């Protein structure tokens, strides 16, 4: 069986479709980490606190400190989410490989039924 063959076997999904979906998730997560692509990313948040200044009765230093804390926590949350997305993509790619191997083994095991027709 060709390693890249699209064999759905009635399951509605192919090995190649699974691999593509997993790769797309990993690419999206990587793009987010770099602050690129449509996903944005934690590095895109850099400098978000630079607008905090001392104006009137508002304590700009306190605001800036709080904003830095929020920014840091937000970056951690985004990084954690991107890591989970990347891991999910990797799992889908591995599932596609296993799916293709199972499909091949099943076809080989029952090949004798097709030969007797």
**How many angstroms separate the CA atoms of 11 and 54, rounded?**
62
**How many angstroms separate the CA atoms of 104 and 92, rounded?**
18
**Residue-level pLDDT at 48:** 43
> For a pLDDT cut of 90, what percent of the chain falls above it?
12
Q: What confidence category does residue 116 fall into, taking pLDDT thresholds of 50, 70 and 90?
A: low
Q: pLDDT tens digits for 14-25?
A: 888 888 988 888
* Strand, coil or helix: 85: helix
The pTM for the full model equals 0.53
**How many angstroms separate the CA atoms of 99 and 58, rounded?**
60
User: What's the structural domain count of the chain?
Assistant: 1
Q: What confidence category does residue 2 fall into, taking pLDDT thresholds of 50, 70 and 90?
A: very low
Per the domain annotation, does 38 fall within a domain? Answer: yes
Q: What confidence category does residue 84 fall into, taking pLDDT thresholds of 50, 70 and 90?
A: very high
Dig out the tokens for 82 from the structure: 């991107």
**Residue-level pLDDT at 90:** 92
Distance of CA 99 to the CA centre of its chain: 20
Per the domain annotation, does 77 fall within a domain? Answer: yes
Per the domain annotation, does 5 fall within a domain? Answer: no
Per the domain annotation, does 7 fall within a domain? Answer: no
Sign of CA dihedral 97, 8, 4, 106: positive
Place of tokens 């099943």: 106
Domain with 95 in it = 15-42+49-115
CA dihedral 35, 39, 42, 43 (to 10 degrees): 10
Residue 42 pLDDT greater than 50, yes or no: no
């Amino acid at each position: 069986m060709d390693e890249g063959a699209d064999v759905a076997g009635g399951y509605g999904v192919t090995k190649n479709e699974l691999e593509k979906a997993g790769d797309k998730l990993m690419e999206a997560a990587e793009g987010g980490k770099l602050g690129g692509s449509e996903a944005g990313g934690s590095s895109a948040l850099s400098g978000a606190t630079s607008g905090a200044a001392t104006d009137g009765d508002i304590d700009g230093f306190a605001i800036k400190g709080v904003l830095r804390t929020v920014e840091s926590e937000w970056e951690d949350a985004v990084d954690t989410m991107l890591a989970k997305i990347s891991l999910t993509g990797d799992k889908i790619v591995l599932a596609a490989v296993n799916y293709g191997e199972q499909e091949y083994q099943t076809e080989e095991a029952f090949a004798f039924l097709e030969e007797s027709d």
